[in-house]
Amino acid sequence: MSERTIPIVDHRYASSVPPVPRQPQPLTPPLDRLHRPLHDLRISVTDRCNFRCTYCMPKEIFDKQYEFLRHADLLSFEEITRAARVFIDLGVRKIRLTGGEPLLRKHLERLVEMLHALRTPQGQSPELTLTTNGSLLARKARQLKDAGLDRVTVSLDALDDTAFRQMNDVDFPVAEVLRGIDAAIAAGLTPVKVNMVVKRGTNDQQILPMAEHFRGSGVVLRFIEYMDVGNTNGWRMDEVLPSQQVIDRIHAVHPLHPLEPHSPGETAQRWAYDDGAGEIGVISSVTRAFCADCNRARLSMEGKLYLCLFATHGYDVRALLRGDAAAGLDPVSDADLRAALAQVWSQRDDRYSLLRGTAAGQALREQRKVEMSYIGG
Ligand code: SAM
Ligand code: SF4
Ligand code: SF4
């Protein structure tokens, strides 16, 4: 293995409190500077995780000395729900809970219940999903479904037990995650999606076994290109296996044809098996930028809003929700919160993946980027 340098970074990043505009804001949901609406909200509920996936929370950094956030710094369920209500008013229709490992947050089903009770202007509940490493899913799937969760995405990087234990780096067995997936299917959290991050030379030999395991099961397997998120995973371009090669490898054995996207802004390109054994997806975050349609905002566990997975700066929504005595700030009303968030979204021009190969992308890369375990996938 080649040497790599892992910069030590603090995961609590630069942020500012978004100003509340004095002028009245339009009541229609805002578009950003690239005319993109706000549709998806990813809420990270904890920065802790029981795995140490080498590409996300490498053990060398996230060790015993690492300082995770204090519970008092996390948004409460009431604060998350209040923010979500305002985001729904700004156009959000889909909420994904993530982390860290979201199922480590105590009583998460209570938050699911509270979010499920929210209503869009059309009177519907927002679509509610969760991304999890699956380790606690066998125990929690039923409760989550009963609380109003619609679907789950389970991350699983290998079917081979030895390879999987190496990737999660805490010796966690694959059988337990498969049990979680079965429990999610039994509870009706369907269609279950499985995310596999592909790292060339680490788990690319698992592409075909994974495809064959989930073919015909109703589970939608999605292959994610290994991304240069954060600063701690020692990312290198030569470890990215382009999605086209994933498709080619599977197609050579089980022929595939492309499918139309379900909706604009969808991250995965869909493919179906010619023999009717279901579909797979590829998320080509590196080789095929999908910024043009990116309609996602991310709220961290301590209430910082990020407009891009590769953002260098967050907006301190918690200071608006809770006030900040040290900064002389009082909590704001829902109307002011809406106005502040609408203005933040309307000024967004983030498009890191489109810029990755350019000088502007290089400049962004040199600035501090948030870790995946802090804002979720
Ligand atoms: N702990 C949960 C899990 O693993 O599903 C939720 C949080 S995790 C940060 C969300 C997703 O990000 C997972 O599917 C994970 O595989 C993916 N991910 C993390 N680091 C990544 C990277 N460097 N490139 C691509 N995907 C990554
Ligand atoms: Fe934990 Fe998910 Fe990151 Fe793995 S990918 S270390 S399970 S947060
Ligand atoms: Fe969206 Fe940023 Fe990813 Fe582009 S790089 S798709 S703007 S999160």
Please, what's the b/e burial string for 280-319 (b: 16 or more CB within 10 A of its CB; e: otherwise)?
bbbbbbbeebbbebbbbbbbbbbbbbbbbbbbbbbbbbbb
Amino acid at 324: D
Regarding the beta carbon of 232 and ligand 1, being less than 6 Å apart is answered no
Which ligand lies nearest the alpha carbon of 230? 1
Token duo for residue 36: 């993109």
Nearest to 96 by CA among 50, 39, 134: 39
49 Cβ closer than 6 Å to some ligand 2 atom: yes
Residue of the nearest CA to atom 8 in ligand 2? Answer: 100
Q: Which ligand minimizes its atom distance to the CA of 233?
A: 1
Q: Is 86 part of a structural domain of the chain?
A: yes
Q: Does a structural domain hold residue 1?
A: no
Say if ligand 2 is within 6 A of residue 281 CB: no
Q: From the CB of 373, is ligand 1 less than 6 Å away?
A: yes
Q: How much is the pLDDT for 12?
A: 58
Ligand whose nearest atom lies closest to the CA of 101: 1
Assess contact for 38 and 345: CB atoms under 8 A: yes
In the prediction, which pLDDT does 148 show? 98
Distance from the alpha carbon of residue 103 to the mean position of ligand 1, in angstroms: 14
Give me the number of domains the chain comprises. 1
Question: Which residue out of 136, 372, 375 has the highest number of ligand 1 atoms within 8 Å of its CB and is therefore the one to mutate?
Answer: 372
- How far apart (Å, rounded) are the C-alpha atoms in residues 302 and 74? 4
d(CA 61, CA 57): 7
Question: What does each of the 377 residues of the chain score in pLDDT, given as a tens digit?
Answer: 333 434 344 445 788 999 999 888 888 999 999 999 999 999 999 999 999 999 999 999 999 999 999 999 999 999 999 999 999 999 999 999 999 999 999 999 999 999 999 999 999 999 999 999 999 999 999 999 999 999 999 999 999 999 999 999 999 999 999 999 999 999 999 999 999 999 999 999 999 999 999 999 999 999 999 998 877 778 888 999 999 999 999 999 999 999 999 887 788 999 999 999 999 999 998 998 889 999 999 999 999 999 998 888 899 999 999 999 888 999 999 999 999 999 999 999 999 888 888 888 878 777 766 888 887 77
The confidence score (pLDDT) of residue 156 equals 98
Contact 104, 111 (CB under 8 A): no
Q: Which domain holds residue 130?
A: 6-375
Which CATH number belongs to the domain containing residue 255 in this structure?
Answer: 3.20.20.70
Distance in angstroms (rounded) separating the CA atoms of residues 83 and 87: 6
Q: Which residue of 6, 96, 195, 374 sits with most ligand 1 atoms within 8 Å of its CB, as the best mutation to test the pocket? A: 195
Give, in degrees to the nearest 5, the angle at Cα 162 between 194 and 49.
Answer: 55
Angle at alpha carbon of residue 295, lines to 294 and 297, rounded to 5°:
110
Pairing of the two strands 127-132 and 151-155? parallel
Whether residue 280 lies inside any domain: the answer is: yes
Q: What is d(CA 310, CA 289) in angstroms, rounded to the nearest whole number?
A: 13
Which of the listed residues 155, 227, 236, 309 should we mutate to test ligand 1's pocket, taking the one with most ligand atoms within 8 A of CB? 155
Amino acid at site 134: G
Token output for 8 = 């030590």
